[in-house]
Amino acid sequence: MIVFYDIPSKVPGKAWSPNTWKARFVLNFKGVPYKTEWIEFPDIEPRCKALEIPPTSTKADGAPFYTLPAIHDPTTGAYVSESLSIAEYLEKTYPDTPAVFPCNTLSLQAPFHLPFRAYLKVYFQFGVPAAHGVLNAPSAEYFRRTREASFGKTLEELLPQGDRAKEEWAKVQEGMGKVSQWYEKNGGKGPFLLGETASWADLFVASYLVYMRITWGEERQEWKEVMSWHGGQWRRLLEALEKYTTVH
């Protein structure tokens, strides 16, 4: 059974990270059996090194940078890190499961994260403080320290307040509006980019929706707004993928 390495939190089900959700969605979508091993932020690097999980990029000082998600597949012996690489690995290794790159669309889907992240960058000033709020103590301290260094301000300074919060939230809606315009071109055949068929890019978008919902909770006003935006596009997408949000 595949081992899936994820970062825990205080929420029921523990899973919260949009990046690990991308790979978890793929495992659930394909129905490949797996179990989760939870690793707090400060333990990711030593644990990955010990397991010989490959780093996903390099730090500013040139040292290898280790991130989750990662998987270990005892059947092949493979250790794979980074969500798209995991999706590619599972697609190749388990060809009889539902495809996340149907019609050989991997090459078309590979750059999807770039425009999506460009439009949704404005969300992170809300999402990073919200994520900090659900982490366990060892991860919360690590997350605050590294993110504050990265943004050059405290998490409290990062989170917009008052009128600026309204303005910045309107930009999130505008960014999601750009993404919804891509969805509107699907011929009205379903809630997915390819119409009736879910694929990697939908799971990618849904990972950010799940991240919002988990870190804010369903009663949060902003979450209710997201579910009403763009003719209910995001509500319909999440409803269609809800069955793949289980945590094993």
- Give whichever of 160 and 190 is closer to a second copy, judged by the CB atom: 190
Q: Rounded to the nearest whole angstrom, what is the least distance from the CB of residue 106 to a second copy in the complex?
A: 5
| Alpha-helical regions (H) of 102-246 | 106-109, 113-120, 124-134, 137-151, 155-158, 162-183, 200-216, 221-228, 233-241
Cα separation values, 92 from 45, 198, 203, Å: 27, 18, 18
- Give whichever of 124 and 182 is closer to a second copy, judged by the CB atom: 182
CB 22 within 8 A of CB 112: no
- Give whichever of 173 and 186 is closer to a second copy, judged by the CB atom: 186
* Site residues for a second copy per CB under 8 A: 88, 102-112, 114-116, 118, 181-187, 189, 193-195, 199, 201
CB 228 within 8 A of CB 138: no
Exposure class string for 124-146: b at 16+ Cβ within 10 A, else e: bbbbbbbbbebbeeebbebbbee
Q: What tokens were used for 238?
A: 């999440």
Q: Are strands 70-73 and 78-81 parallel, antiparallel or unpaired?
A: antiparallel
Q: Rounded to the nearest whole angstrom, what is the least distance from the CB of residue 71 to a second copy in the complex?
A: 19
- Give whichever of 33 and 111 is closer to a second copy, judged by the CB atom: 111
- Give whichever of 115 and 232 is closer to a second copy, judged by the CB atom: 115
Q: DSSP states of 71-91 as a string? A: EEETTTTEEEESHHHHHHHHH
Please name which of 83, 110, 113 lies closest in space to residue 17, comparing C-alpha atoms.
83
Q: Rounded to the nearest whole angstrom, what is the least distance from the CB of residue 123 to a second copy in the complex?
A: 17
- Give whichever of 102 and 160 is closer to a second copy, judged by the CB atom: 102
- Give whichever of 13 and 232 is closer to a second copy, judged by the CB atom: 232
CB 232 within 8 A of CB 13: no
Q: Rounded to the nearest whole angstrom, what is the least distance from the CB of residue 202 to a second copy in the complex?
A: 10
Q: Rounded to the nearest whole angstrom, what is the least distance from the CB of residue 118 to a second copy in the complex?
A: 7
Q: Rounded to the nearest whole angstrom, what is the least distance from the CB of residue 107 to a second copy in the complex?
A: 4
Q: Rounded to the nearest whole angstrom, what is the least distance from the CB of residue 200 to a second copy in the complex?
A: 9
